[in-house]
Amino acid sequence: MSITFLAAEPDPQLFVVVAVAVFLIVAMFFMIMVMVIKYYKRCPSNRILVILGRTGPGERCQCIHGGGRLVIPVFQDYRWLSLDAIRVEISGPAASDELAERLFLPNVFNVAIGTTPDLMQHAAKHLLDRTQDEIRQLAEDAIAGRLDHALADQRSRPSDDSAAVLDSLSKAIESDLNQLGLTLLNSRRT
């Protein structure tokens, strides 16, 4: 007993439908890949990627240091914050005061945007879309205010313990800078 298969003639309309479906699937896959490649942002180690828009419940923005994220067009936008160090030189009465020189208070400070989650959020809130000069000016104002405050305290309650004064001043400056999203890298007297 032999089995014979009847060869059915292919339907040309079915071939067209299958070809169009395959073409659409390939085109959609290609468009999705192009979109992912175009809107995926990688964050270099010397920057912070700030994603604005719909980032999650209760979040105003999302800050990423290292790695990358897909930025969804229309719903999200992105900006960059530089992690480069900023040199802040304090001049004027606070830096050239006789008491400041006797205590050897620093007048040159190096600051940068912090990379902890809290500091990055503060930086995104206060420093986003500002130039390096504007950030330098904000840091200078915060540091000069603390130096003036430290000198006034020293005049009212003199202390010969220069190390304690410097430690207290450093902590106070760090606290003020942290509110802006900055961190104190180092300080020195020139």
Q: What pLDDT does 95 receive?
A: 52
Output the six-digit token pair for 13.
Answer: 């309309």
Residues 126-168 pLDDT 10s: 999 999 999 999 999 999 888 888 778 777 777 667 777 788 8
**Residue in 42, 65, 69, 38 with CA at minimum distance from that of residue 53:** 69
Alpha helices in the chain (DSSP H): 12-39, 93-96, 98-102, 117-126, 132-156, 162-180
Q: How far is CA 22 from CA 15, 17, 18, 33, 138, in A?
A: 11, 9, 6, 17, 59
Go through 109-141 and write b for each residue having 16 or more CB atoms within 10 A of its CB, e for each that does not. Answer: bebbbbeeeebbbbbbeebbeeeeeebbebbbe
Q: Which positions ≥6 away from 139 have C-beta within 8 Å?
A: 86, 88, 109, 111, 177, 180, 182
Rounded distance between C-alpha atoms, residue 187 and residue 111, angstroms: 9
Q: Tell me the pairing of strands 47-53 and 76-82.
A: antiparallel
Q: How many Å is the Cα radius of gyration of the chain?
A: 30
- State the pLDDT confidence band at 189, using cuts at 50, 70 and 90: confident
Of 18 and 58, more confident? 18
Q: What pLDDT does 4 receive?
A: 62
Can you list the domains of the chain with their CATH numbers?
A: 12-82 (no CATH), 86-188 (3.30.479.30)
Residues 66-115 pLDDT 10s: 889 999 888 899 999 999 999 999 876 555 556 666 666 778 899 999 99
Share of the chain above pLDDT 70, in %: 87
Question: Secondary structure of the chain: what % helix, strand, coil (to 5)?
Answer: 50, 20, 30
Mean pLDDT of the chain: 86
Its pTM stands at 0.77
- State the pLDDT confidence band at 26, using cuts at 50, 70 and 90: very high
